[in-house]
Amino acid sequence: MTMVSSVSLLLVIRIIALRSKQDSKNQIDHDLLEAFLNHIPDNVFFKDRDSRFVRISRAMADYIGLPDPKLAEGKLDSDIFSPEHAGQALADEREIIRTGQPQIGVEEKETWPDGRESWVLTNKLPLTDHCGQIIGTMGIARNITDWKLAEQRLQHMALHDALTGLPNRVLLQDRLLQAIALARRSKNSVAVLMVDLDRFKNVNDFFGHNVGDRLLVGVAARLRATLRESDILARLGGDEFVIVVPLVLADGDVETVANKVIAALCEPFQLEGHTLQIGTSVGISLFPADGADATTLLQFSDAAMYEAKKKGGGTYCFFTSELANALRRRQTLEKNLHGACSRGEFAVHYQPLISTSSGQVTGVEALLRWNHPEEGLISPIEFIPRLEDLGLMVDVGDWVLKTACLQIMSWRKKGITIPRVAVNVSAQQFYRGDLARSVEQILCETGLRPDCLELELTESLTLDDSAITIEIMQSLKGIGVSLSLDDFGTGWSSLSYLRQFPIDRLKIDKSFLRDISSDPAAARIARSILDLGNNLGLSCIGEGVETWVQREYLYEQGCEEMQGFLFSRALPPDDCGELLRSWEPWKTEDPEIPETSLPIEEVSLTRVVGPAICS
């Protein structure tokens, strides 16, 4: 073999060896790429200059619904994705090829034919050959669908009520601002309706918050079904809902909505075997007549709603300029009520209970009063509902109970013997506080005998035959205190309830006694209550006795006790003590009653000495 042939042979062997080594390296590179594309959890793709797929990862094949990544080769985005997504991807890749600049952190959303939505966060880079020429693009896209859905859920939670799914105050403010802006441009009106449920606190107190929550869900569903699609419905919290009626075109539109809402919520709700009858009070404010911003309109509709409640509920009221002062006053009172008890502004006044037949004082009723440092005495009708709204009634109620017990003991030390003291108990005290424990502790601390204490339960707040109600009453009776049902005839009366309740007395509401001389129906109702009490073995007390005619009626009907301005208004402890010390019963068993009664202003500060003598 010649030298040339030997050299040639060596070159061939060298070339073959080099090629073999290169093929081996290429195989390794190929295997590494395959492993990479098969196992990376992200969507990886390579495209040519025409944006056709050259290779994709297994994860991307799964993402776009292909059983084999090879099926994507040669396809365009428009063959796989929505037109919006495909068009944007094509524009991005052309820009990368033109400029050679990558695009980092691009968020892409896809809506699939079945309505499912997905998101990816994509980094796209130019793909170059060994000479540095751009031959296509490559990208890595991380599936962020779970993160986006979680973000949406958080955003929804931030803007919606968790219980009903309705917009909350934050979203309501935004939508109300939009409605105002639209109405301002079109020179139309916007109505804001504040909807507050009547007697909802009773439901929570009677049946528990679980039933109360289910009732709120039911209310939201009824309101949705009642309103138009263009109306805005939101829940502010508690039992307050807001309806925004955008673009009010006619004067009667708002009244129509309010009446439909009231009618819808008057229908009974069936929940967990209970028939719940509630109602609603609606307050209405208008843009631009009442206010030009969302906050003002909400405040004014709230003031109008409270006015509707004052009228007995189950109705609606429009905001008026007079209500602005009432709103400011209510806000001031609520602010001042916090700490009023600790500042010593609360006081307990006492009104005598009188035997109808003998005129003897049979007890006193303890009544809470607020001596405001600037305004003086404020009516209980004005501040007690605020105490309940603010959740302060349990603590204040316990204070009243202890103060009254201490006062009875103080009078007894001075030689003034009072058979019993009656103290009102709110629904919050009865159901939310540990009432039996509080009563037992207060009796122990004050030394008052249990049979000298009577707890007055308002019928409309407590008359429910649930096991918890009866259990609480029996616990109180077990201590030895007596129970009376206040304002009887104004609530959800049921003979079956009365048979189960360990009640000692019924208090006839003053509304039935007020008109007995002029309204035969009122007299019949009062007589029926007295008959009912007698048949059930319950004593009866007539409330709000202001005339001798009313006193004579109660005497003739066999009502055992009475109270009212005819005998005395509720007095501070010292004044009441003096009244009790000098009190004289009737001079005869059957006193002669004059034909006319004394005016209220004349008798409210006096005491009864005889059948027709006031001094």
- Model pLDDT, residue 29: 64
Closest CA to 111 of 82, 149, 83, 87: 82
pLDDT tens sequence across 535-575: 888 899 999 999 888 999 899 889 999 999 999 999 999 99
Q: Say yes or no to pLDDT of 403 above 90.
A: yes
Percent of the chain whose predicted confidence (pLDDT) is above 70: 87
Q: How far apart are CA 281 and CA 427, in angstroms?
A: 20
Q: Say yes or no to pLDDT of 444 above 90.
A: yes
Q: How far apart are CA 326 and CA 319, in angstroms?
A: 11
- Model pLDDT, residue 380: 85
Rg (CA), the chain: 40
pLDDT tens sequence across 314-347: 999 999 888 877 777 778 888 888 878 888 889 9
- Model pLDDT, residue 570: 93
160-333: CATH class: alpha beta
pLDDT tens sequence across 13-62: 555 555 555 566 666 766 777 787 888 888 999 999 999 999 999 989 99
Pick the CATH number of 343-603 from 3.20.20.450, 3.40.50.300, 3.20.20.10, 3.40.50.150: 3.20.20.450
The domain ranges of the chain are 35-149, 160-333, 343-603
Average of pLDDT values for 423-450? 89
- For residue 588, what pLDDT band results from cuts at 50, 70 and 90? very low
DSSP 218: H
- Model pLDDT, residue 433: 67
pLDDT tens sequence across 198-253: 888 778 766 777 888 999 999 999 999 999 999 999 999 889 999 999 988 776 88
Tokens of 293: 């911003």
Q: How far apart are CA 615 and CA 607, in angstroms?
A: 6
- Model pLDDT, residue 256: 92
Q: How far apart are CA 516 and CA 527, in angstroms?
A: 10
Q: State the fold for domain 35-149.
A: Beta-Lactamase (3.30.450)
Neighbours of 101 (CB within 10 A): 11
Q: Say yes or no to pLDDT of 587 above 60.
A: no
- For residue 7, what pLDDT band results from cuts at 50, 70 and 90? very low
Q: How far apart are CA 615 and CA 603, in angstroms?
A: 9
Q: How far apart are CA 84 and CA 77, in angstroms?
A: 10
- For residue 4, what pLDDT band results from cuts at 50, 70 and 90? very low
Neighbours of 84 (CB within 10 A): 12
Mean pLDDT highest for which of 15-19, 73-77, 244-248, 450-454? 450-454
Average of pLDDT values for 74-87? 90
Tokens of 175: 């939508």
- For residue 610, what pLDDT band results from cuts at 50, 70 and 90? very low
Neighbours of 281 (CB within 10 A): 24
The mean pLDDT of the chain is: 84
Three-state SS at 471: helix
- Model pLDDT, residue 466: 64
- Range list of H helices, 311-358: 321-337
Higher pLDDT, 116 or 482: 482
